[in-house]
Structure 1
Amino acid sequence: MPTVDDPSFLSRYDRMADRAAAGVISTYSTSFGLSTNLLAPGMRRDIRNLYAMVRIADEIVDGTAAVAGVAGVGTLLDAYEAQVRAAPLTRFHTDPVLHAYANSARRCHFRDEHVEAFFRSMRRDLEQSTYDADALEDYIYGSAEVIGLLCLSVFLSGREVGETAYGELEDGARSLGAAFQKINFLRDFAEDTGTLGRAYFPGTEEELDDRTKDAIIADVRQDLESAARVIPALPLSARTGVLAAASLFAELTKRLDAISAVELTRRRVSVPAPRKTILIARAVATAPRLKGSRS
């Protein structure tokens, strides 16, 4: 018979919270969900816990809260940010996703300044509908690049990495996060402009033309190339999953490049499941052999 101070009580609750967070990524992101399957179990858990927190913040600002009848969406976002940033200080939370996130934040030493930057960008989605180049750069840093940095904290948790090597990995993590964000902006252009009233890329308030689309694609490919240079330096326990995610988004980029800007605004492009399977299998075979890779 367990006693009230039996640690198995908390361990069982931890496992439940992790499963709840895993349900978020399986519902919202097929590609990221598949990629996380290739991570080592502990990393998989922590990345999914991080994703769940980020996804809930996205749902607050992207219309779900408003559809539910929430009048003060900004106030709700402020409250959620306060809960998230304070969460690592407390060992038990009644919200399973917050509980799971807090455990991962403590294990992986998430930096509060990164979380703060993320919520700053989320708040801009409530207050700003168009961006110039500088504002877009700042938005992408908070909405995507710091997520790459938080993921890097998961991948390198408990590992000693030299200052130079860590700086290179940080640059790669930021580049990959930026690439993912920009390609999502392109893929979701119709929804962002038509439903949410947002034009992230300068000069696209009215429409997206082929010249602008081609410039964005070129920028994405440069980011992906920058990230690819440091993927071999990741531990193998993370490398396969990151390579798979990068490959899936590179394929998505190629498919977006193959259609006109007009067509892109009319339909949401995706990578077919059979092609995803091939790319993931290729990542599994390739990752251990990458030049300069470490176990």
Structure 2
Amino acid sequence: MFSPTHQVFSHTAQQAAEAVISNYSTSFGLATRLLGPARRHHIRNIYALVRIADEIVDGLAADAGLDASEQRELLDNFADATRSALRFGISDNLVIHAFAQTARTTGITFDLIEPFFASMRADVGTPNDPPAPVRGLLADEHRDYVYGSAEVVGLMCLKVFLSDQDRTPAQVEALEFGARQLGAAFQNINFLRDLADDSVRLHRSYLTAESRLSDSDKTAWVIIVRQQLAHAQATFSLLPKDARTAVRTAAALFAALNDRIAVTPVDRLYQERVRVPNVVKARLVSRAILSTVREGRP
């Protein structure tokens, strides 16, 4: 039983994590509201941690005037604080404390955390990198980056969903594959949506070793994402029922975004960010709720 001091601090940490997702993502914020209450705060805690780390390498530190070595030091300090929190169960950083509470409760371990921070570290250029050229990724670099930045996040969320569930080894294997595929699909859609910002502001090209995608490249990635989403969707019925609507909603929102990207010329994607209108989001939420209501338990 935790002391009142610990309870107040942990509650405050949870509020901080909720503020992060509310301010940074309408899609994930909407989806998490559809989770069962026992899981909702854990998913928010995971999102908050990975979002803050991502912000460090996506301009927050650079905007503060830090050079590449200083950005790397800031990220490494954040990673070290996360490792310490997992060992001790507490952190003076509210977001890290909230994540540590979730990790220790649901069994998230270092084998998922280390690949994540490795991918974040890859986004920090070396001190001698020139600022202008766009840095692309080879196929194996893309694979490794997406595993660490997105697939392990899906596996962390799955830890939350299965923490109080009984599944056969075969079901767990299928769900882990689905979680990785869903994480990869979300990340690849983000890459397509953010072509303008990634190339102009961050000088990154995640989907090709070249500095710029062609229309045929974009079409190929749209197809890959659809396949990844299909693999993930095949496993949704194995999730606990109080998680299915939220996961289906998130998948549907990103599928709708991918469909809009599919009909948008790549030159336009390099100029503006494609969005899903709120009226479409509302319709997709309704469909996800109805799909889950019609199902029984796995």
Instruction: Establish whether TM, by shorter chain, passes 0.5.
Output: yes
Q: How does 1:32-111 map to 2 (within 5 A)?
A: 32-71=28-67, 72-111=70-109
Secondary structure, in 3 states, of the residue corresponding to 1:63? helix
> Which whole-Å deviations, capped at 9, do the CAs of 1:57-106 have from their partners, x for residues lacking one?
00110111111133400011111111112212224322211111110010
CA-to-aligned-CA distance 1:42-71 (integer Å, 9 cap, x gap): 211000001111011001101111111334
2:197 to 191, 203, 215: 191
Q: Tell me the amino acid that sits aligned with residue 98 of structure 1.
A: I
Q: Look up the equivalent residue of 1:36 and give its one-letter code.
A: T
- Tell me the CA shift for residue 10 of structure 1: 1.9
Q: Distance in 1 between matches of 2:50 and 2:2?
A: 32
The match for 1:179 among 176, 179, 185 is 185
The DSSP-based 3-state class of the residue aligned with 1:27 is helix
Using the alignment, how far apart are the partners of 1:233 and 1:80 within structure 2? 35
Partner SS state of residue 62, structure 1: helix
Residues in 2 aligned to 1:91 and 1:122: alpha-carbon distance in whole angstroms: 23
Which amino acid is the alignment partner of residue 201 of structure 1? L
Partner residue, 1:143: 149
CA distance in 1, matches of 2:293, 2:180: 23
Question: TM-score scaled by structure 2?
Answer: 0.93
1:31 partnered with 2:27: yes
Runs of 4+ in 1 over 4 A off after TM superposition: none
Work out which of the residue numbers 261, 269, 275 in structure 1 matches 2:274: 269
Unmatched tracts of structure 1, length 5 or more: none
Q: Secondary structure at the match of 1:279?
A: helix
Give unmatched runs, 5+ long, in structure 2: 127-134
- Map 1:176-255 → 2, pairs under 5 A: 176-205=182-211, 207-255=212-260
Identity %: 44
Q: Does 1:294 align with 2:297?
A: yes
Pairwise CA RMSD: 1.5
Q: Is 1:258 the equivalent of 2:263?
A: yes
Q: Which residue identity is paired with 1:28? A: Y
Bigger CA drift: 136-145 or 258-267?
258-267
- Alpha-carbon separation, structure 2, partners of 1:83 and 1:274: 41
Rounded Cα–Cα distance in structure 1 between residues aligned with 2:199 and 2:121: 18
CA distance in 1, matches of 2:229, 2:91: 38
1:233-264 Cα shifts (integer Å, max 9, x gaps)? 10011111000000000100111111111111
TM-score, normalised to structure 1, is 0.94
Q: 1:91 to 1:203 in 2, by over 3 A?
A: closer
C-alpha offsets along residues 119-156 of structure 1, whole Å, 9 cap, x if unaligned? 00111111383211111111100010000000000111
SS of corresponding position for 2:204: coil
Distance in 2 between the 1:112 and 1:136 partners?
A: 22
Number of paired residues?
288
Distance in 1 of aligned mates of 2:165 and 2:291: 23
